[in-house]
A and B are shown apart, each in its own frame.
Chain A
């Protein structure tokens, strides 16, 4: 891989864009000209971005399907939320409480990540997917049925509120942190080891990659950030309810990752922004049973994209009508081949 100048710019462009958005909205928020609903939307977008980037690590780079991402988020939301509720009388309702509870939520979710990573060492593919799904449901069921004094039972856990004018700043900083960790991990030698497990586990093992260690590691890091997203989520709600973390939510995160293109971090970010924005906007546009049109739309996206990208019969069609080539021309295609992010689809196209 050649490290040309454009390569570096491309790597840091996403940080720059996020920072610009952050600064613009911080100024708007400080001058009081940003609407609260806009800030809430930003928080939601930041949470989705963290979730999709962290899931992208497991699905896109490690190549294992996790259907329990909402479960990690649930663990983070409830245990971190509980921590913040306990800390609030002692430390007040400030940034310190938020940071500590985020760490608590993140680490507890990471612990669950280790627990779920352990079976992942013995299982692959469909089996692992069903085990992650099962884990997510177990976490949710435990939280929902724990004594009411712990997590509030079915009513939900009341959590303290952070100043809603500034919460999105914390959320955006967490997005940057998540991005930095993921991106640097993927581009390091560890990242290449992880991608090699995805492409061929036996070959990776034979080349001396410690498959066990890396699988566990990816699950843990991914769960850590999902936990942090959970704590942030708990701060946007008056009461955190476990119903919201069912496996449909895991699938929604998966849709973001797939829509963005498996193995593309920037793609996951864009898809997360797009889907969250649509979610919030459509909620007001489509009342009642019509809201399900959105699910229908997601389902169709998922099916069409995956078949289009992966069907062996469509390979020649894909090569002839490559969207990127048509849009940007030959130059971009050449640059792309050089700085290949080796996505699942990218493999066949090059």
Chain B
């Protein structure tokens, strides 16, 4: 039973990772850059929820406000920091993204201080019991939201005009441009979607553990990127698979006493192993580098 409850917890945290990983994987697939600041957008969403909760007091209003603010923030970051570097070396873009991540973290610390804020209004307590097994409502919510997000996003990419344009840009940006796709707008939309997902992920994280600090997004962000890489970057099902795999591994490793302190090490080792065996991830497409 212990194993089973660890598995269910893993599915839940994996769901959160998957939603964050979707943001990474879409941006990586389309803009060809690792948006290091993605995890910190989650944190900014958290603080937005904190402020809205203080003013208005309703969790769903807070979530809506956070989503809107994150979308604005994500698009602004893309416009100011990443777009000027389009066409520059990947190293420069990556370093800038790290700079943006640092900037958001330190700004949050300056504005809100370093002591964590408790958002008890967001916390969803209680759960259902099935025999010896108890499942939290927050776990069920996470799983449901993850499933909905994945289905909606897959349909969006497959059937909407914007979604098709996204696929086109990720396949070949120049060719898409020649076919009349507004690549800059598509990349901005991708950042908007990613940031909205980050806000949702932040909400789910705070439902489970309502403690908010300026580094709340950093580690989950890195782990979610790990998940996106494990699943195969640029692939939506891959991000889901990687996220849930990572969450389950984390939870199971956490439930084994001998492994528990080394959980982070176990997760990152899986990343390295997967990359050594299959550098493009489990569901990723192999891309041959062209001269």
Which residues of A pack against B, CB within 8 Å? 59, 63, 65, 67, 118-119, 122-123, 125-127, 129-131, 133-135, 137-138, 141-142, 144-145, 202-203, 251, 254, 258, 262, 289, 292-293, 295-296, 298-303, 306-307, 309-314, 344
Question: Residues of B contacting A131 with CB < 8 Å?
Answer: 271-272, 275
Tell whether, in the assembled complex, residue B106 and residue A310 are in contact, meaning their CB atoms are under 8 Å apart.
no
Cβ of B94 under 8 Å from chain A? yes
A130 touches which of B101, B106, B225, B261 (Cβ 8 Å): B225
Contact A137 B261 (CB under 8 A): no
Query: In the complex, which residue of chain A has the Cβ closest to the Cβ of B90?
Result: A125
Complex alpha-carbon distance, A299 and B113, angstroms? 18
B24: min CB distance to chain A, Å: 10
Whole-angstrom distance from the CB of A59 to the nearest CB of chain B? 7
A303's partner among B99, B268, B272 (CB-CB below 8 A) is B99
C-alpha gap A262/B98 in the complex (Å)? 16
CB neighbours of A251 from chain B (8 A): 98, 102
Tell me the smallest distance from the CB of A121 to a CB of chain B, in Å: 10
Closest chain A CB from B29 CB (angstroms): 12
B95 touches A258 (CB 8 A): yes
Contact status B100-A303, CB under 8 Å? yes
Question: Are A134 and B268 in contact (CB-based, < 8 A)?
Answer: yes
B106 and A135 form a contact (CB under 8 A): no
Extra contacts, 20 of them, besides A126-B34, A295-B105 (Cβ < 8 A), are: A59-B91, A122-B275, A123-B275, A126-B94, A129-B34, A134-B226, A138-B265, A141-B264, A142-B265, A202-B289, A251-B98, A251-B102, A292-B110, A293-B106, A299-B101, A301-B99, A302-B99, A303-B99, A307-B81, A310-B89
B95 contacts A130, CB within 8 Å?
no
User: Which 3 pairs of residues, A with B, have the shortest CB-CB distance?
Assistant: A302-B99, A134-B268, A145-B261
Beta-carbon contact of A292 and B106 below 8 Å:
yes
21 CB < 8 A contacts A-B = A119-B276, A123-B275, A127-B229, A127-B275, A130-B222, A134-B268, A137-B265, A138-B268, A141-B262, A141-B265, A254-B95, A292-B106, A292-B110, A296-B103, A299-B102, A302-B95, A302-B96, A303-B103, A306-B85, A311-B84, A312-B87
Give the distance in Å from the alpha carbon of A292 to the alpha carbon of B229 in the complex: 31
Residues 265-291 of B contacting A (Cβ, < 8 Å): 265, 268-269, 271-272, 275-276, 279, 289, 291
Shortest Cβ distance from B276 into A: residue: A119
Q: Which residue of B lies closest to A302 (CB)?
A: B99
CB distance from B280 to the nearest CB of A (A): 9
Please pick, from B95, B226, B275, B291, the residue contacting A65 in the complex, using a CB distance under 8 A.
B95
Is B110's CB under 8 angstroms from A289's CB? yes
Q: Which residues of chain A are near B103, meaning CB under 8 Å? A: 296, 299-300, 303
B262 CB contacts on chain A under 8 angstroms: 141-142, 145
Tally chain B residues at the interface, Cβ within 8 Å.
Answer: 46
B225 proximity list for chain A (CB < 8 A): 130
B254: shortest Cβ distance to chain A, in Å? 13
Q: How far is the CB of B25 from chain A (nearest CB, A)?
A: 12
Report the nearest A residue to B267, measured CB to CB. A134
The reply to whether B222 and A133 contact each other, CB–CB distance below 8 Å, is: yes
Partner of A137, one of B90, B109, B264: B264
- The majority secondary structure among interface residues of chain A is helix
Give the shortest distance, in Å, between A318 (CB) and chain B (any CB).
12
User: By the criterion CB–CB under 8 Å, are B100 and A293 in contact?
Assistant: no
Residues of B within 8 A of A144 (CB): 261
Q: A123-B279, A292-B109 are in contact. Are A310 and B34 (CB under 8 A)?
A: no
Asked if residues B85 and A130 are in contact (CB atoms below 8 Å), the reply is no
Alpha-carbon distance between A344 and B101 when the two chains are bound, in angstroms: 23
Query: Is B133 among interface residues, defined by CB-CB distance under 8 A?
Result: no
B95 A306 Cβ-Cβ under 8 A: yes
- A164 to B17: give the CA distance in the assembly, Å: 48
Q: How many whole Å from B235's CB to the nearest CB in chain A?
A: 15
Q: Is the CB of B89 within 8 A of A293?
A: no
Given contacts A130-B229, A251-B102, contact A202 B265 (CB under 8 A): no
Find chain A residues with CB under 8 A from B272 CB: 119, 131, 134-135
**How far apart are the CA atoms of A293 and B110 in the complex, in Å?**
7
**How distant is B15 from chain A, measured CB to nearest CB, in Å?**
21
Q: Quick check: B109 and A310 within 8 Å, CB to CB?
A: no
In chain B between 61 and 114, which residues have their CB closer than 8 angstroms to a CB of chain A?
81, 84-92, 94-96, 98-103, 105-107, 109-110, 113-114
Distance of A138 Cα from B101 Cα, bound (Å):
21
State which of A126, A258, A293, A295 has its C-beta within 8 Å of the C-beta of B90.
Answer: A126
Distance, CA A299 to CA B98, complexed state (A)? 8
Complexed CA–CA distance, A145 and B257 (Å): 12
Residues of A contacting B269 in the complex (Cβ-Cβ under 8 angstroms): 138
Which of B106, B268, B279 is the one whose CB lies under 8 Å from A127? B279
B102: nearest chain-A partner, CB-CB: A299
Contact residues in A for B99 (Cβ distance below 8 Å): 299-303, 306
Most interface-central of A137, A251, A299 (chain B CB within 10 A)? A299
Residues in A with CB closer than 8 Å to B89 are 310, 344
Minimum CB–CB distance from B136 to chain A (whole Å) comes to 27
Find chain A residues with CB under 8 A from B94 CB.
65, 125-126, 129
Q: Please determine whether A122 and B91 come into contact, CB atoms closer than 8 angstroms.
A: no
